Amino acid sequence: MDEVKDEWEVIAVGIGYVVARNGPYGYPDLLDHYYMDEDNAQHVADQLNGHADITDAPRFNED
């Protein structure tokens, strides 16, 4: 059986945000963190979806 994985999305909950997706059998998969800033939640969702831009990360060998 092929498992279809939906992309992670940012969902507003109360005054903050969670990162979630549709899981197996229609049950949601939720991360165990509540974000107050939508940009932080979107960054995590992008990382989980493989869309994160990590080219700006500092490298150990740079001066």
Check whether 29 has a pLDDT greater than 50.
yes
pLDDT of residue 24: 78
Better-scored residue on pLDDT, 5 or 29? 29
The predicted pLDDT at position 23 comes to 83
pLDDT digits (tens, 9 = 90+) for 36-55: 999 999 999 999 998 765 55
Question: Which pLDDT value is given to residue 36?
Answer: 96
- The shares of helix, strand and coil residues in the chain, as percent rounded to the nearest 5, are 25, 25, 50
CA dist., res. 13 & res. 39, Å (int)? 15
